[in-house]
Structure 1
């Protein structure tokens, strides 16, 4: 949460898996996101952000599967 705005928060995450830990024919995996959220009640918030996912494939050098797009959602904690 941001100090002066107790209902607003800034959230970020990044996950990385090298080839030895990736599954199937994948050389690696990266998932990263950043979002701004607003707490509507004590254990629920809505968020708006951006996310990027990249998967490197063994058999096709130079080509990787990507998804990068804005995201919107509801986060519940219990």
Structure 2
């Protein structure tokens, strides 16, 4: 089962240049995540999908849909998006998911060409959660540096938390940690 999921992820990432705007690969100490976004930052909409494998056989998938546009934060050029992130997860004895509302912003720093800061936050209350999840919070913060025209490296922090519904009860960090990765633009 593990081999087939990894094979599907590898094939998806290999085919990404044919239909993607960018591919994002990141690692924490306990997880690896691949994300494909289908449109570039100049499009009015963004659609993406991702898969995270967390040590201990936890599988996390996401589908993102955002309206996005260019704006400014002070005098800093910014790309912002508002929309939904659907997250589905499976562990040994529990599974669940949620549809979180939220958004993201990427702020470019003109004084240091190639440097940008990104933050994203999505929250799903219990009404938008299903399975063993009672609510869900997804947070990601990163600093990126564009090494060449079509690739950047980044470091940051990822946090994905859910409250478990009865009979399990409790708070579970599905994925959390300092991360590093790279993003390739097509």
CA-atom RMSD in angstroms: 1.3
Report Cα offsets for 1:21-64 as digits up to 9, x if no partner: 12312111101011111101222111000111110111134x11
1:37 equivalent to 2:117? Answer no
Hey, what does 1:69 align to over in structure 2?
Answer: 177
What TM-score, normalized to structure 2? 0.39
More RCO (CA 8 Å, sep 6+):
1
Question: Which runs of 5 or more residues in structure 2 are unaligned?
Answer: 1-107
- Separation of aligned partners in 1, 2:130 and 2:152: 32
- Separation of aligned partners in 2, 1:8 and 1:31: 24
What TM-score, normalized to structure 1? 0.87
Hey, what does 2:76 align to over in structure 1?
Answer: none
Hey, what does 2:135 align to over in structure 1?
Answer: 28
